[in-house]
Amino acid sequence: MKILLITYYWPPAGGSGVQRWLKFVKYLPSFDVTPVVYTVKDPDYAVEDESLLSEVSNDVQVIRESIWEPNSFLSKINSKEKQKSAGFIDPNPSFIGRQIQYIRANYFIPDSRKFWIKSSVKKLTSFVQENDIDIMITTGPPHSLHLIGAEIKKRTGLKWLADFRDPWTNIDYFHSLPLTKKSREKHYQMETMVLKQADAVTVVGNSMKKEFSDRNDQVHVLTNGFDGDTKSKESLLDKKFSICHIGMMNADRNPKILWRAIRELIDESEDFRKDLVVKLIGNCDREVYESVSEWKLKHHVSFVAYVPHKDVLNFQRSSQILLLAVNNVPSAKSLITGKIFEYLQSQRPVIGIGPVDGDLADILNETQAGQIIDFEDVKGLKELIKSHYRLFKSGKLKSKARNIDRYHRKHLSKELAEILKSL
């Protein structure tokens, strides 16, 4: 079987968006599925990681097509925009910033990569017919790629799987966009069109499956995962009582109860004050810095900019506790940060802050890898941290994770191959 993958994120793109399909492409040939990758040429990625290029086999055909991205032009107008483009929406934009946000939200629908649709459809329509492609896959966001898939299917009748790494109209930042009523309706119309026309849909969690199943009866949950071994390397553990969060932390993800909880614990225990260190690995919103300063925690919190993916596992395995912060937004129950699966691989205790009845909580409960605390439960968070600290002091702080092999990328690729062969 030969498939065509249409993806915006591909090495040297860094960050979480590239990992899912980079790993699927790695393992699919083991299950008699040959992938061809179609992606962008000279893109304006917010984060790059050159080390990921080495993970792409020379046997994989990668086709690159030029793209015009208005984001680079708009960023020149407002010097703040470039730094905000890495996943953040400025809650207090300047006048120019507000105009740019409005233009992006209402003129670039579904997103600013819409200008790649026309040229891609033209190029790929002939390509799929001339190269014996059996199935086409589009992955979003950016969801404009699904519109490429819809048009190619319309022209050729090619089987099409639409993959949603994140929701569309229910994504965490959708509520923050300055959308007009007409623009909002257009998003819903496009989302419904994609769901109804796709031959199958893959999503990362059960909540998204429930959301989409009324518009497609072939919605499959295909979670993200981890790659590599799961051998614990406890000899590398930090000597300090380290709490580590890896990944971008925007304003919605800022764990406000954590800052209050550790401030109170520091005030209550001199030993805790001496032992604690919090590591935030990745870009953080200005509000996170302000919260740390407000609670007088600058001496206990270290900020580290983007780390190449190959080095991330070392941070995870050396940390005493791994922190998951879910965006505090209306769609929080459906959010599953991809980092949870690599946390499982690291086999360190996980503390999550988010809905106790959400998809992320289900994974933590199922694997017994950690515990999730509600957004407002300061008392519960304090007690959990204190419990872990006592185990740390006695040298017994360990992960109890189990049944995590089902989240290995190779196992997930086998599931994907079975879905593709069923179409």
Q: What is the mean pLDDT of the chain?
A: 91
* Whole-number pLDDT of residue 85: 42
Query: What confidence score (pLDDT) does residue 16 get?
Result: 82
Which residues, including other chains, have CB under 8 Å from residue 192's CB and lie 6 or more apart? Answer: 215
C-alpha atoms less than 13 angstroms from C-alpha of 77 in its C-beta half-sphere: 14
**pLDDT score recorded for residue 81:** 45
Report the pLDDT value the prediction gives residue 231, as an integer from 0 to 100.
62
* Mean pLDDT for the stretch of residues 159-167: 96
pLDDT for the residue 91: 63
- Domains, the chain, in order of start with CATH, read 2-68+110-225+409-422 (3.40.50.2000), 234-393 (3.40.50.2000)
d(CA 45, CA 63): 17
Terminal-residue alpha carbon distance, the chain: 11
Q: Which two tokens stand for residue 412?
A: 């997930």
According to DSSP, the residues that pair with 41 across neighbouring strands are 66
**How far is it, in rounded angstroms, from Cα 209 to Cα 212?**
5
Beta bridge partners of 220: 202
- Estimate to the nearest angstrom the gap between the alpha carbon of 104 and the chain centroid: 21
Residue range 390-401, pLDDT digits in tens: 999 999 999 989
Whether the predicted pLDDT of 84 surpasses 60: no
Task: Tell me phi and psi for residue 381, to 5 degrees.
Answer: -65, -45
CA distance 195 to 216: 6
Whether the pLDDT of residue 128 is over 60: the answer is yes
How far apart (Å, rounded) are the C-alpha atoms in residues 250 and 273? 26
State how far Cα 54 lies from the chain centre.
21
- Which pLDDT belongs to residue 333? 92
- Tell whether the model's pLDDT for residue 88 goes beyond 70: no
Could you please report the per-residue DSSP string of 365-404? HHHT-EEEE-TT-HHHHHHHHHHHHHHHHTT-------S-
Q: Which residue has the higher pLDDT, 369 or 235?
A: 369
Whether the per-residue pLDDT at 73 is higher than 60: the answer is no
What percentage of residues in the chain have a pLDDT greater than 70?
Answer: 93
The whole model's pTM is what?
0.89
**Residues 393/240, Cβ–Cβ less than 8 Å:** no
- Name the helix (H) or strand (E) containing 203: strand 200-203
Q: How far is CA 37 from CA 5, 13, 34, 62, 109, in A?
A: 5, 14, 10, 5, 24
Tell whether the model's pLDDT for residue 168 goes beyond 90.
yes
Give the Cα separation of 3 and 5 in Å (integer): 6
Bridge partners, residue 245, by sequence: 280
**pLDDT band at residue 76 using 50, 70 and 90 as cut-offs:** low
Number of H helices, E strands in the chain: 16, 13
Q: Is the dihedral of CA 221, 227, 230, 234 positive or negative?
A: negative
Picking from 291, 305, 6, the residue whose alpha carbon sits closest to that of residue 149 is 6
Matching residue, tokens 């225990």: 269
**pLDDT one-digit tens code per residue, 205-260:** 999 999 999 999 999 999 999 998 766 555 589 999 999 999 889 999 999 999 99
Q: 58-62, 281-285, 288-292: which has the minimum mean pLDDT?
A: 281-285
Dihedral angle of Cα 380, 381, 382, 384, to the nearest 10 degrees: 90
Mean pLDDT to the nearest integer, 193-201: 98
